[in-house]
């Protein structure tokens, strides 16, 4: 298989949703069909000690939630699939945002009973801003659900995107008995059977006029199905590949991830329509995946995937050129040439050493601490710089210090590594200060920080909340130049830029009014390597 063929068979996508919509379950079922796992674990199956394969961190298994993005690969019908399973919880929006930067498309998961929820809307906006294709999977149709027309209307009113149903739920008043495949004119009727733990369904499939289908559905259900089919054909949005490719129209699917119902048809349809790796904008040029010069960017760092060895894995998205094990590349931010050793691909914590990879692939490499999130790696003979990622403004702040001063070394190492991951934002108050100030988007980030410091670095910490909710960077002034600071606190970010912590928006407006010539921003300015060199 040549270079172009390898690129064209790649599909790299993220799965986004509100918490509890079934995102991790859908991820597992896709892996199951891809042959990557033989038994789908359930985060609810506590007694059998089975957990979601993409939830590798111990706290995820305990709480039944995803708190960090997972990177998973498998092959299916000639495609190399890279799934980016993101945290649904809003406290980890920043990790999700960075992960979405590495995706070429997104699968948006919606609960059939709840419709579009707050976190789904927020993540949709990130995808829409990038103009990437969005495929919608309405989950849990084996339970009571809302009217599908209402869900389509909600997609348009809340998200501003029209939907083209690829299949349609069969049933009346939210009591669904199957789905109808529009393209093949086939009905799949489900009945519960088999091992309850596996949640399998007995499925009967056939044309909607077939005797076996007619026998399973009542006259009212069949009449409703005929009416729905006619209405969709006459008044529904037609399939438009161009609109889908630019994120203006979403293909809509109905199914149940927990029971496997509708998942395989969705996977096969999605892989046909989802885009191959797309060009990426760099500061110097637009980088084509067909360019034979290697380039990639770091979108995630994970410490201690193997707690015994305290390893540090850098995840990168390959944008152009063929990656080869042991190759030397330019680390754009430091200007150093580094060798990428022991490259790996992942199925949760299961690692496979690879010899090569292509644009669209996600790989992990060991790193001693040289690279950071957003960094660029490229061929020294063809230098490009991918733009750094924006940072979510933190809303919660606390002072953190080790309870045992004898464990300060482990504490410093843990804080440094976890901040490099982007798990939290860390600030200092200058040289010689014994504690850190941490910023978070939500309370759960603090819980995870304390848990990981305790379990991965054997350090118990004390968190003291601070009365601030706003952080501001001054673009064209130093703290000494400012008036009206009042009770604010001056701290320094990881690039030693001063940050002003303020109690609320009122104090922020006061500071802005007192300093009319100063520009205050909620996220740190993005600095390129060329600006740093100057």
Cβ neighbours for 252, distance < 8 A, ≥ 6 positions apart:
136, 138, 152, 155, 163, 164, 165, 166
Using CA atoms, how far apart are residues 350 and 53, in angstroms rounded to an integer? 10
Using CA atoms, how far apart are residues 300 and 313, in angstroms rounded to an integer? 8
pLDDT attached to residue 500: 94
pLDDT attached to residue 437: 92
pLDDT attached to residue 124: 86
Phi, psi of 273 (to 5 degrees): -95, -30
Using CA atoms, how far apart are residues 368 and 342, in angstroms rounded to an integer? 13
pLDDT attached to residue 29: 85
Average pLDDT over residues 396-408: 90
Q: List the end-to-end C-alpha distance of the chain, in Å, as a whole number.
A: 45
Residue-wise DSSP of 418-429: HHHHTSSEEEB-
Average pLDDT over residues 48-60: 41
Which parts are annotated binding residues for GTP? 17-24, 85-89
Cα 23 vs. chain centroid, distance in angstroms?
11
**Nearest in space to 330 (alpha carbons), one of 321, 339, 319:** 339
Tell me the pLDDT tens digit for each residue of 291-335.
999 999 998 887 665 556 556 788 899 999 999 999 999 999 889
Mean pLDDT across the chain, nearest whole number?
82
Beta-sheet strands, E only, within 284-388? 286-287, 295-303, 312-320, 323-324, 328-331, 336-339, 344-347, 350-353, 356-357, 362-366, 376-378
Angle between helices 118-130 and 93-100 (to 10 degrees): 30
CATH match of 3-170+237-275 with 3.40.640.10: no
Using CA atoms, how far apart are residues 97 and 419, in angstroms rounded to an integer? 16
Q: Could you please state the CATH topology (level 3) that the domain comprising 281-378 is classified under.
A: Elongation Factor Tu (Ef-tu); domain 3 (2.40.30)
Query: For residue 47, is pLDDT > 50?
Result: no
CB 237 within 8 A of CB 161: no
Angle between helices 443-457 and 408-421 (to 10 degrees): 130
Query: For residue 39, is pLDDT > 50?
Result: no
Tell me the pLDDT tens digit for each residue of 363-386.
888 888 788 888 999 999 999 999
Burial class (CB in 10 A: 0-12, 13-18, 19+), 533: exposed
- Helix or strand holding residue 57 (H, E): none
Query: For residue 226, is pLDDT > 90?
Result: yes
Cβ neighbours for 494, distance < 8 A, ≥ 6 positions apart:
419, 426
Query: For residue 208, is pLDDT > 50?
Result: yes
| DSSP code of residue 210 | S
Phi, psi of 212 (to 5 degrees): -65, -30
Tell me the pLDDT tens digit for each residue of 249-296.
999 999 998 888 888 889 999 999 999 999 999 989 999 999 999 999
Average pLDDT over residues 484-491: 91
pLDDT attached to residue 357: 92
Cα 27 vs. chain centroid, distance in angstroms?
12
**Torsion sign (Cα): 162, 166, 170, 175:** negative
Burial class (CB in 10 A: 0-12, 13-18, 19+), 343: buried
Cα 447 vs. chain centroid, distance in angstroms?
20
pLDDT attached to residue 514: 92
- Identify the weakest region by mean pLDDT among 31-45, 176-190, 327-341, 385-399: 31-45
**Nearest in space to 524 (alpha carbons), one of 506, 499, 505:** 499
Query: For residue 42, is pLDDT > 70?
Result: no
Query: For residue 337, is pLDDT > 90?
Result: yes
Using CA atoms, how far apart are residues 248 and 246, in angstroms rounded to an integer? 6
| More confident position, 133 or 39 | 133
Query: For residue 148, is pLDDT > 80?
Result: yes
> What is the chain's length?
534
Q: Cα angle at 499 between 494 and 503, to 5 degrees?
A: 130
pLDDT attached to residue 53: 43
pLDDT attached to residue 534: 39
- Identify the weakest region by mean pLDDT among 136-145, 268-277, 313-322, 429-438: 429-438
Q: Could you please state the CATH topology (level 3) that the domain comprising 396-521 is classified under.
A: Alpha-Beta Plaits (3.30.70)
Q: How many CB atoms lie within 10 A of CB 264?
A: 15
Tell me the pLDDT tens digit for each residue of 60-80.
444 444 334 467 888 898 999
pLDDT attached to residue 350: 64
Tell me the pLDDT tens digit for each residue of 164-179.
999 999 998 888 898 9
Residue-wise DSSP of 98-155: HHHTT-SEEEEEEETTTBS-HHHHHHHHHHHHHT--EEEEEE-TTS----HHHHHHHI
pLDDT attached to residue 448: 78
pLDDT attached to residue 449: 84
Average pLDDT over residues 435-439: 85
Determine how β-strand 134-139 pairs with β-strand 249-254. Answer: parallel
Query: For residue 391, is pLDDT > 50?
Result: yes
Determine how β-strand 362-366 pairs with β-strand 425-427. Answer: unpaired
Which parts are annotated binding residues? 17-24, 85-89
- Helix or strand holding residue 227 (H, E): helix 219-235
Query: For the chain, which residues make up each domain, given as ranges?
Result: 3-170+237-275, 281-378, 396-521
């Amino acid at each position: 298989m040549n270079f172009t063929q390898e690129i064209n068979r790649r599909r790299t996508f993220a799965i986004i949703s509100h918490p509890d919509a079934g995102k991790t379950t859908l991820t597992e079922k896709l892996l199951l069909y891809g042959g990557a796992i033989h038994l789908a674990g359930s985060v609810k199956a506590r007694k059998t000690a089975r957990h979601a394969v993409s939830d590798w961190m111990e706290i995820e298994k305990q709480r039944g939630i995803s708190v960090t993005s997972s990177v998973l690969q498998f092959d299916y019908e000639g495609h190399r699939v890279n799934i980016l399973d993101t945290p649904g919880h809003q406290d980890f929006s920043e990790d999700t945002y960075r992960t979405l930067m590495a995706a070429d498309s997104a699968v948006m998961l919606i609960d059939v009973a709840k419709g579009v929820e707050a976190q789904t809307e927020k993540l949709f906006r990130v995808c829409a801003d990038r103009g990437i294709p969005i495929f919608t999977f309405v989950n849990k149709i084996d339970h009571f659900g809302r009217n599908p027309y209402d869900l389509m209307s909600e997609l348009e009113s809340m998200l501003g995107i029209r939907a083209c149903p690829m299949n349609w739920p069969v049933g009346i008043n939210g009591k669904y008995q199957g789905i109808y495949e529009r393209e093949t004119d086939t009905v799949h009727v489900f009945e519960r059977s088999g091992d309850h733990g596996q949640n399998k369904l007995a499925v009967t499939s056939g044309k909607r006029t077939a005797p076996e289908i007619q026998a399973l559905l009542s006259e009212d259900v069949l009449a409703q199905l005929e009416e729905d089919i006619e209405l969709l054909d006459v008044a529904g949005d037609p399939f438009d590949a161009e609109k889908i490719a630019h994120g203006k129209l979403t293909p809509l699917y109905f199914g149940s991830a927990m029971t496997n119902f509708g998942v395989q048809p969705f996977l096969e349809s999605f892989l046909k329509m989802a885009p191959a790796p797309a060009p990426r904008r760099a500061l110097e040029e637009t980088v084509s995946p067909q360019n034979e010069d290697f380039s990639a960017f770091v979108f995630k760092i994970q410490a201690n995937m193997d707690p015994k060895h305290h390893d540090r894995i850098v995840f990168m998205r390959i944008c152009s050129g063929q990656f080869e094990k042991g190759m030397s590349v330019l680390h754009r931010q430091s200007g150093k040439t580094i060798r990428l050793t022991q490259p790996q691909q992942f199925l949760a914590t299961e690692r496979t050493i690879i010899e090569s990879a292509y644009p669209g692939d996600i790989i992990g490499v060991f790193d001693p601490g040289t690279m950071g999130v957003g960094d660029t790696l490229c061929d020294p003979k063809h230098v490009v710089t991918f733009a750094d990622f924006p940072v979510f403004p933190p809303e919660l702040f606390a002072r953190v210090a080790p309870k045992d001063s004898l464990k300060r070394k482990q504490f410093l190492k843990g804080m440094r590594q976890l901040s490099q991951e982007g798990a939290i934002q860390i600030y200092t108050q200058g040289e010689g200060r014994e504690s850190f100030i941490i910023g978070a988007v939500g309370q759960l980030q603090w819980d995870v920080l304390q848990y990981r410091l305790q379990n991965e670095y054997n350090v118990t910490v004390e968190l003291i909340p601070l009365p601030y909710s706003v952080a501001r960077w001054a673009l064209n002034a130093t703290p000494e130049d400012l008036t009206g600071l009042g009770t604010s606190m001056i701290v320094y970010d990881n690039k030693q830029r001063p940050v002003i912590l303020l109690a609320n928006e009122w104090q922020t407006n006061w500071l802005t009014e007192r300093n009319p010539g100063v520009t205050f921003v909620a996220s740190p300015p993005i600095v390129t390597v060329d600006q740093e060199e100057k």
